[in-house]
Structure formats: C-alpha cells, structure tokens
C-alpha cells in the first residue's frame, strides 16, 4: 500500500481509521472521516508505541501489517509456522497461554516464530494431540480448558512441568529431589489390619529414599523428617521454593477389601492435560516396585492431586503397596521393608533417567 501521512485523504485513510477505531484508539471529534488529521496521527503514534513499532505517525508497510493483524481474535484464523510469520494479538494470546502453562514459547511478542512452534508441539504432545504445530480450534479448546484469557483458572490451576519438565535429559545425580512422606502428626493416614499407621511407613520409606538419593549425589529435601503435621500446600511450596527438579510423594494404599493389592503411581492429569514426564516416570516406578516387592503393577493413574498440581517440577505420588491387604502386616513389620521399597524407587528413577 502507499504510505499514508498527515494531510492525506481517501478510502485508504478511512480503512486505517476504522481499524484504529475498532481497536479502541481515540480519533477525536471527527472520528472516522477519511481525513488524516492531527487526531488520526496521534492515534497512529499511540498504536505504534504500544506495538513496539517505530513511532513516526506514518502508515507504511510495517505499521499497516501490524494494524491488519492486530484485529485477529484468538481462534479467528488458523495459525502455524510460516514465512513471513503470523503476527497479531491472537499469536500474543497463544504465547501467553503457553508460557503460563509452562511451555516455553519465548518472548510474548505476538510473532509466531520457531520458538512458539516448539512450545505448541510440546503442548500438543503433553495433551495427547497430533503434533502438527497447527493451532486450530481443537488446540485452543484444550488450552481454554486449562486457561482463561491466558490466565490459569482460579487458584490452584498452575500446571507442573515448567521449563519443559523433561528432566530425563539430565543426570539423576545432579538433581534436587523432594521426598514427601504423606500425612504425619495429627494425620495418621490409613491404618493396616493390625494397626500399623500409614504415616509411619511413609516416613520410614521416605527417609530410606532420601538416604539412597544422597548416596548417589542428589540434593534431597524432605517435607518432614519426623512425626509432625505438615499442611498439604506447604509440601509443593517447599519444592517450588527449593528449586527442586523432582517431587516424589510417598503414601501407602488402602482398600476396604483385604484382597486389593498392587503398586500404584500417580501423575498429574486434569481437563485433558497430563504430565508427559510424569506418566513415564510413574510407569518406571511401578515396574520397579512391583518387581522388588512382588506385588502386581497397577497402570499409572492420572490424578489432580494438590501435590501433583501445585508442584512446578515433575511430580509423582507413589503407593508401593496396600497396607490393608492380607499378609501385609508381616511384610511391613520386616525390618527390611522400608529399605527394599526405597531401593526399588531409586532403581525406578534410574530407569527413567537412563533406560536399561
Ligand atoms: Zn496417604
């Protein structure tokens, strides 16, 4: 298009003015009149400043391009990586949503470049969608379920696995692991047939795991190291503040039926989103625990538990056995139980970080 500047008149000026007006810019008393006056120039300057353009008050290609693409509402057009890049508020909205969800879309600049595409692919992978990098209605729908206007839904909607969460690229020995013994203090958790309290078994296994991890060089943070009450939300908070790389919560399962048994591991899952590293890690842990303790492996289970949701790193909650199962009291009373369970967990972590 031809360059438009102060004093110009005509259809093209009218077009620019109506776009500015629909975006909420003030065109003064004359409004959309087809004349590029001082008020129009002020609106153009304002638009340029807000969009990081060179503020010269003139409509040339770059400003025109921004003006055209600024009007796209999220979902109004199909977005994908192309040259020249898609630009606009819909791209910005997409980047913001991805970043808030922990998929690194890079700077929120409203330009759909390779960084944004990578984040879209990551999102699609984690959401179990076709990884084609096409941002269509189906992608926006899944995204809308976890975010609203680019903001995570009400408190507690933060998604783990920030920074990609693909800890698998790293060496286990270099990581900081939070070990979280469930319950404690006022909260006994479940109780076995003969009165063994879950909180005590959880703590024993957690202390064993902490030692095992330290012995290979990991940094270890325990959410409790004694029989004390720890509020639920303090547990992920400790992990987030401590900059941990992994969060392992230790519980033990229960069931009214004494025949219920099996090793269980839970990963974060909510509204169609699930933690990709979480499900893989859960699988390794279940396999390792079931072999070591001779209990059936249960399939990894997706759950929206607070400790899985609020943690910003990969998180798994484990229940090595059902403490309510027949014969379990004698297993739990064996002096070696906690050590065996801890070593099985360590082995499962090892399998995740360097597959056999
Ligand atoms: Zn529990």
CATH topology of domain 162-353: Aminopeptidase (3.40.630)
DSSP 135: B
CA of 167 to the centre of ligand 1 (A): 26
DSSP 172: G
pLDDT tens-digit map of 63-91: 887 788 777 777 778 888 887 778 777 88
Distance (Å, whole) CA 307 – CA 180? 9
> Which two three-digit tokens encode residue 151?
């903001």
Distance (Å, whole) CA 137 – CA 142? 9
Nearest 5 degrees, angle CA 150-CA 18-CA 109?
30
* Residue-level pLDDT at 273: 61
pTM summary value: 0.58
CA of 307 to the centre of ligand 1 (A): 12
pLDDT tens-digit map of 30-73: 889 999 999 999 999 999 887 667 788 999 877 887 788 777 77
CATH of domain 11-69: 1.10.101.10
Do 11-69 and 89-152 show the same overall fold?
yes
Which residues have their alpha-adjacent CB atom under 5 A from ion ligand 1? 182, 189, 251
What DSSP assignment string belongs to 51-71? TT----S-B-HHHHHHHHHTT
Residue 227: is its pLDDT beyond 80?
yes
CA of 209 to the centre of ligand 1 (A): 17
CA of 91 to the centre of ligand 1 (A): 43
CA of 303 to the centre of ligand 1 (A): 14
CA of 97 to the centre of ligand 1 (A): 33
Domain ranges of the chain: 11-69, 89-152, 162-353
CA of 94 to the centre of ligand 1 (A): 38
CA of 313 to the centre of ligand 1 (A): 21
CA of 325 to the centre of ligand 1 (A): 15
Chain mean pLDDT for the chain: 86
118-147: burial string, b at 16+ Cβ within 10 Å, e else? bbbbbbbebbebeeebbbeeebbebbbebb
CA of 258 to the centre of ligand 1 (A): 17
CA distances from 319 to 97, 262, 323 (A): 33, 9, 9
Cα torsion 258, 260, 263, 268 to 10°: value is: -120
Distance (Å, whole) CA 332 – CA 78? 57
Query: Would you say domain 89-152 falls under CATH 1.10.101.10?
Result: yes
CA of 164 to the centre of ligand 1 (A): 28
What DSSP assignment string belongs to 263-310? BEEEEEEETTEE-HHHHHHHHHHHHHHHHHHT-PBPPPEEE--HHHHS
* Residue-level pLDDT at 34: 93
pLDDT tens-digit map of 140-191: 888 887 765 444 443 333 343 443 444 456 789 999 999 999 999 999 999 9
CA of 151 to the centre of ligand 1 (A): 31
CA of 249 to the centre of ligand 1 (A): 9
CA of 182 to the centre of ligand 1 (A): 5
CA of 181 to the centre of ligand 1 (A): 9
Distance (Å, whole) CA 184 – CA 11? 74
CA nearest 146: which of 88, 87, 103, 113?
103
* Residue-level pLDDT at 338: 96
């Amino acid at each position: 298009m031809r360059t438009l500047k102060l004093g110009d008149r005509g259809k093209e000026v009218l077009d620019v003015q109506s776009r500015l007006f629909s975006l909420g810019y003030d065109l003064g008393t004359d409004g959309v009149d087809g004349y590029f006056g001082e008020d129009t120039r002020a609106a153009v300057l304002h638009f340029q400043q807000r969009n990081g353009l060179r503020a010269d008050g003139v409509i040339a290609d770059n400003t025109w391009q921004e003006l055209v693409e600024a009007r796209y509402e999220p979902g109004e057009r199909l977005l994908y990586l192309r040259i020249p890049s898609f630009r606009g508020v819909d791209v910005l909205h997409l980047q913001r949503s991805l970043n808030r969800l922990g998929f690194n879309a890079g700077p929120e600049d409203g330009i759909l470049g390779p960084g944004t595409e990578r984040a879209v692919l990551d999102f699609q992978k984690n959401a179990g969608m076709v990884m084609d990098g096409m941002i269509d209605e189906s992608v926006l729908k899944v995204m809308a379920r976890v975010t609203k206007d680019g903001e995570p839904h009400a408190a507690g909607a933060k998604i783990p696995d920030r920074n990609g969460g693909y800890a698998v690229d790293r060496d286990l020995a270099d990581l900081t692991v939070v070990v979280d013994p469930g319950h404690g203090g006022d909260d006994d958790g479940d109780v076995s047939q003969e009165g063994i309290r879950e909180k005590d078994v959880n703590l024993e296994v957690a202390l064993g795991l902490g030692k095992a991890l330290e012995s290979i060089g990991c940094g270890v943070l325990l959410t409790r190291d004694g029989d004390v009450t720890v509020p639920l939300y303090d547990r992920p908070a400790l992990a987030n503040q401590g900059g941990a790389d992994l969060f392992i919560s230790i519980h033990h399962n229960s069931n009214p039926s004494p025949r219920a048994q099996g090793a269980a591991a839970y990963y974060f899952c909510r509204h169609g989103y699930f933690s990709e590293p979480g499900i893989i890690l859960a699988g390794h842990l279940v396999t390792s625990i079931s072999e070591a303790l001779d209990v059936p492996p249960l399939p990894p289970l997706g759950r929206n538990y607070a400790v899985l949701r609020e943690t910003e790193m990969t998180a798994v909650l484990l229940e090595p056995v059902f403490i309510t199962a027949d014969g379990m009291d004698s297993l739990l009373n064996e002096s070696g139980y906690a050590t065996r369970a801890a070593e099985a967990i360590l082995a499962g972590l090892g399998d995740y970080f360097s597959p056999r």
